[in-house]
Amino acid sequence: MNVKEYVKLLHDIKILERKVVDIFEKKLGISLTRFQIIKYLYEVDVATPKKIAQILEIDAAAITRHLKKLEEGGYVRKKRNEDNNREVLVEITEFSKSKIDQCVKETDIREFIGPEFTKEDFKQLVILLNKFNNNLI
């Protein structure tokens, strides 16, 4: 692959990412990053903002802004760690859990991209994306 083809590929990936994220956000009514935060909390129950930032590879200031919006929307709740009063813990609310459950039940990825893609296509895509990500560390 020459440089021109490589640049075209990167551009196409960027456009695809933008389109998929826009569709996802319109469907769910929440940004992808905020959904990732509540999905992570759904899996672990409670975490510190620092841990969330590390897991999602997002800077701490951005996590703080997202958590503020999520708290205002009733998706998460912040509380002080009883063992270490300086530490803030974030937990998912029941409202948020119900939204994730609803999303899992109602969201079919084929609605986003069309029925012509098979399960095997998605498996291959995941394999290729993992190859890229693992080699670009």
CATH number at residue 62: 1.10.10.10
SS3 63: helix
- Distance, in Å, from the CA atom of 83 to the CA atom of 114, rounded to the nearest integer, reads 50
**What's the number of domains the chain is made of?**
1
Q: Which two tokens stand for residue 42?
A: 């759904």
Q: To which residue do tokens 């997002």 refer?
A: 58
Read off the tokens for 4.
């021109």
pLDDT in tens, 3-17: 898 889 889 889 988
Whole-number Å distance between alpha carbons of 107 and 113 = 12
Q: How confident is the model at residue 2 (pLDDT cuts 50, 70, 90)?
A: confident
Range(s) of the domain holding residue 130? 3-135
How many other C-beta atoms can be found within 10 angstroms of the C-beta atom of residue 37?
A: 29
pTM over 0.85: no
CA–CA distance, 45 with 38 (Å, rounded to integer)? 9
Give the other-Cβ count within 10 Å of 30's Cβ.
20
- Cα 67 to its chain centre, rounded Å, is 13
Q: pLDDT (tens digit, 9 = 90+) per residue, 37-67?
A: 998 999 998 999 999 999 999 999 999 999 9
